[in-house]
Structure 1
Amino acid sequence: MGKKKKIVLILLIVGLIVFAYFAYNYLTFIRDYATSDAVFIRSDKITNVSFKRVAGKIIKMYKKEGDFVKKGEVIAEIDPIDYQLKYDQVAKKIESLKSKREQLNIQMLKVKGELDLKKNIAEKKINYLDDEIKSLKYSIAELNQNIKQLKRDYNRFKSLYEAKAVSKRKFEDIETNLLALQKKKKSLLSKLEGLKKQKSVAEDELKIVYVEYKNIDELKKSIESLDSEIAATKNQLQDLKNLIDYCKLRAPFDGKIGKKFVEVGSVIKSGFPIYSIVDTRSLYVEVLLEETKLKGVKAGCEAEFSVDSYPDIKFKGEVEEVYPASAATYALVPRDISAGEFTKVAQRIPVRVAIKEGDLSILKVGMGGEIKIKRVN
């Protein structure tokens, strides 16, 4: 065998060994790892933020694309002048209603005080007249007994006088006393009638007082109506206060401005997107893995990936979930295979990978990359 043939044979053997080595390593790699270049950086929180319930002209924009924001931080403002004017008008209305209520309350207290005084006077007068009438009736009853007795004496002395058994003077004294008592009784009866009339007048006055108390009820109803109107207007005022506060757009969570949709001076409607905010703390990797590579890929599998922008920087991850349906299942225009005519292609199953290690600050939502996932038996 010539020298050249020996060299060729040696090179051939070395080549076969190298090929076998690399072939073995490749087969071992595809046995142990599932790979894909359909890799995308995603976020659980990507939100378009807008002004709630308010519309108008934007007067301030505090952030630009790429800026970080803190939860609650004011990131834009619209002109609140229209809402402020309405707020001032409603505030003045509340003050006017309160003033009116105060006047009605003063009027009610005044009327009640006057009626209470009249009621008290009328009741005292009626009680006084009741006592006077009772006393007078007692006096009349006592007088009736005396008159009755004197009448018996008068008849007895009259018979005696006619029989010349008593003197004329004695008989006349009895007659004079009887006439005096009868006259006194007539006077007391007249006085009793006058007291009864006074009592009737006092009772009528008391009835009028009770009727006038209904005016207080009407004033109370007016005050209650004002209280309800004041409460409703206060709710309206609080709502306007909220609207004024809504004129300041605040970040709903910590994150980064992904996109700015408008500029200062724009006139926008309620709900129109102003910024898109990305929560950079909730980044994850979405892998669209061919169904032929799913064997051994489960939750908990270790993963290593890089993004196309920084191919030399490696990130560590871990499979969180293998989704139960292919990406094509949710396509807006699914493939029509009812006729049985279609080209068979490997479906891609979405796999969610949590990022465990790496510099998250360089990752942007939507970035593509490559990944390898270590299979488990």
Structure 2
Amino acid sequence: QQDYNRFKNLFEAEAATRQQYDNAKAAYDIALAQLHAITEEYNSAQLNSSKEKANELPARANINIKKAAKTNAQLFLSYTVVTAPYDGFVGKRTIQPGQFVKEGQTLANVISEEKWINANFRETQLENLSEGTVVTIQVDAFPKLSFKGKIHSFSPASGSKFSVIPQDNATGNFVKIEQRIPIKIVFDPKQDLKKLRAGMNVVIHATHQS
């Protein structure tokens, strides 16, 4: 535009030829047309950008909906496979192939691979026992074998507190009965426990060390 104005002034002052003025005006018109074209292209791009931004929120919302649907589908897919809560062996199966299963129905009894002992000690025996106390375990089924273990934890209440019909002493008809406290005993590792089965009777020998 500066060149055009300069040649226009020169032409009007008769200091430039008509040819020079026409060339400058033509160049100016072309540059002006290019400027308009670029401006229109920029405005169009801005409009498209605004439209894309306006469409971005619904698109993101749709993506989140699809992700939620995928997660839900994966959850329902996981329901098609029944898994045990721990590793072990099926002790008893209560269903047969082709049988319909009801909600809450017991399908099988699973025996855990992990072995431990639920021992019921008399309350008068607890004075010298604590978590970590080393014990010797005799199994009635294998009298010639003995195993090593230790006390893992004590029950927070006596066994009678967890019975179906707990003893009620509110009537005053009280007979003192020595209570038994359930204690969990775990076996020391690196022992061959393959012969042991759930429900076997054992005798626990705990040595008090003062």
**Both structures adopt the same fold (TM-score exceeding 0.5):** yes
Counterpart residue number, 2:176? 344
Aligned in 2, Cα 1:342/1:306: closer, same or farther, shift over 3 Å?
same
Q: 1:233 aligns with which of 58, 66, 91?
A: 66
Total equivalences in the alignment? 198
Aligned to 1:360, what secondary structure does the other structure show?
A: coil
1:254 aligned to 2:87?
yes
Counterpart residue number, 2:96? 263
Counterpart residue number, 1:71? none
Q: Which has the higher contact order (CA 8 A, sep 6+)?
A: 1
The question of whether the paired residues in 1 share the 8 Å contact of 2:139 and 2:201 is answered with yes
Distance apart, 1:259 and its partner CA: 3.6
Counterpart residue number, 2:194? 361
Aligned Cα RMSD in Å? 4.3
Aligned in 2, Cα 1:239/1:138: closer, same or farther, shift over 3 Å?
farther
The question of whether the paired residues in 2 share the 8 Å contact of 1:317 and 1:353 is answered with no
Gap regions ≥5 residues in structure 2: none
The question of whether the paired residues in 1 share the 8 Å contact of 2:135 and 2:151 is answered with no
Give CA deviations for 1:305-354 in whole Å, capped at 9, x if unaligned.
224xx264543233414625322234454322234321111111223333
Distance apart, 1:136 and its partner CA: 0.9
Counterpart residue number, 2:148? 317
Please, what TM-score do these two structures have when normalized by structure 1?
0.40
1:327 aligned to 2:199?
no
Q: How does 1:176-187 map to 2 (within 5 A)?
A: none
Counterpart residue number, 1:155? none
Aligned in 2, Cα 1:289/1:261: closer, same or farther, shift over 3 Å?
same
1:211 aligned to 2:43?
yes
Please, what TM-score do these two structures have when normalized by structure 2?
0.64
Aligned in 2, Cα 1:343/1:263: closer, same or farther, shift over 3 Å?
same
Percent of aligned pairs with the same residue? 18
Aligned in 2, Cα 1:235/1:269: closer, same or farther, shift over 3 Å?
farther
Residue 216 of structure 1 aligns with an amino acid whose one-letter code is N
Residue 148 of structure 2 aligns with an amino acid whose one-letter code is G
Counterpart residue number, 1:119? none
The question of whether the paired residues in 2 share the 8 Å contact of 1:305 and 1:317 is answered with no
Residue 8 of structure 2 aligns with an amino acid whose one-letter code is L
Give CA deviations for 1:104-149 in whole Å, capped at 9, x if unaligned.
xxxxxxxxxxxxxxxxxxxxxxxxx553233212332x34xx8xxx
Bigger helix fraction: 1
1:135 aligned to 2:7?
yes
Residue 353 of structure 1 aligns with an amino acid whose one-letter code is I
Give CA deviations for 1:188-232 in whole Å, capped at 9, x if unaligned.
8xx8xx98xx69x84666554443234421553377458634575
The question of whether the paired residues in 2 share the 8 Å contact of 1:297 and 1:373 is answered with no
Distance in 2 separating the partners of 1:243 and 1:274: 20
Aligned to 1:304, what secondary structure does the other structure show?
A: strand
Q: How does 1:120-159 map to 2 (within 5 A)?
A: 131-140=3-12, 142-143=13-14
Aligned in 2, Cα 1:206/1:317: closer, same or farther, shift over 3 Å?
closer
Counterpart residue number, 2:115? 283
Aligned to 1:352, what secondary structure does the other structure show?
A: strand
